[in-house]
Amino acid sequence: MTSWLWAVFTVLAAGGQTLRNAMQRDLTVKIGTIGATHVRFLFGLPFALVFLAVVLTATGTRFPALSPRMLAWTFAGAATQIAATAMLLAAMRDKSFVLITALNKIEPVHVALFGLIFLGDHLTLTLGIAIVVATLGVLIMSWPRGGAAEALGVKPVLLGLAAGAMFGASAVGYRGGILALNHPNFVVGATTTVVAGLTMQVAFLTTYLALFDRRTLNALIAAWRPSLFAGFMGAFASEMWFLAFALTTAAKVRTLALVEIFFAGLVSRNMFREGVASREGLGILLIVIGVIILLNI
């Protein structure tokens, strides 16, 4: 059962992240890209602190000592996550929710490369095949109707792809932080890293908005009711991601995370009333094949 826990955490994280992205997309119209980006951090941190308090109490563990190496890795993850979230929301503001989510999901390729270079995470031939097959499925689903790349617009495409690269770097940074903490209890290690990362992000973005964009900060605080749910889902998704990262390589986690495209499709239909191309069937089939290969490694 333990060997499958990372997969359970990953699917839960993907579902939570999809709901959070949908809430943030709606908030982007009201409080701007930076304000909506900060929602997941500012309103997520209190929930993450509650999660940590519950974990420490349940395990009878003290708050772990944070080494400079752990903080450096976590800072790298936190900084690239801020950039990735802003790029993703900026792209979603102009284009289809499911389309931009799909473009962003080329991320596993970046994660595998970054994980190999910076963490020495082993990349087997089978894992490589799973990544390629599943990513190809995402590309087929995201290709514009009529085959004309211009239909998407250059800016949203570049933002979506760049967001995927930044999310890939972020995943590797956070896994590096968890490994550097080296706590015997993976739940404590993962939850502590979540809180450390969110604290850095809240400190940076709150300071930035207070100094350079007080209007957005005030609007963000005023929109606290819808922001609470987005914050909770953000904290929940982060907790699940980090638990998965504590158990296996970031490449495996982020490849299975491609199931988020299914959740995004449901959200796109039910919340945003957006249509989906007929070739989705082939893309879904390839993603399913990639995931099956992944789960049988």
pLDDT along the chain (297 residues), means of 10: 81 86 74 82 95 96 95 96 81 62 71 85 84 80 54 68 87 95 96 98 94 91 87 93 93 84 61 54 76 73
What's the pTM? 0.82
Domain ranges of the chain: 2-295
SS3 content of the chain, % helix, strand, coil (to 5): 85, 0, 15
Instruction: Output the pLDDT for position 196.
Output: 98
Instruction: Output the pLDDT for position 153.
Output: 60
Tell me the HSE value of 23 on the side-chain side, using a 13 A CA sphere: 23
What gap in Å lies between CA 20 and CA 253, rounded to an integer? Answer: 19
Residue 285 tokens read as: 């089939």
What gap in Å lies between CA 248 and CA 262, rounded to an integer? Answer: 23
Instruction: Count Cβ atoms below 10 Å from residue 89 Cβ, excluding itself.
Output: 25
Instruction: Output the pLDDT for position 239.
Output: 96
Which residues have C-beta within 8 Å of that of residue 203, sequence separation ≥ 6? none
Instruction: Output the pLDDT for position 148.
Output: 44
Per DSSP, 62 falls in state P
Kindly report the length of the chain: 297
Residue 187 tokens read as: 């739940």
Distances (CA, A) of 295 to 3, 171, 195, 288: 10, 20, 29, 10
Instruction: Output the pLDDT for position 167.
Output: 87
Instruction: Output the pLDDT for position 150.
Output: 47
What gap in Å lies between CA 75 and CA 72, rounded to an integer? Answer: 5
Q: How far is CA 284 from the centre of its chain?
A: 20
The radius of gyration of the chain from alpha carbons, rounded to an integer in Å, stands at 18
Instruction: Output the pLDDT for position 272.
Output: 45
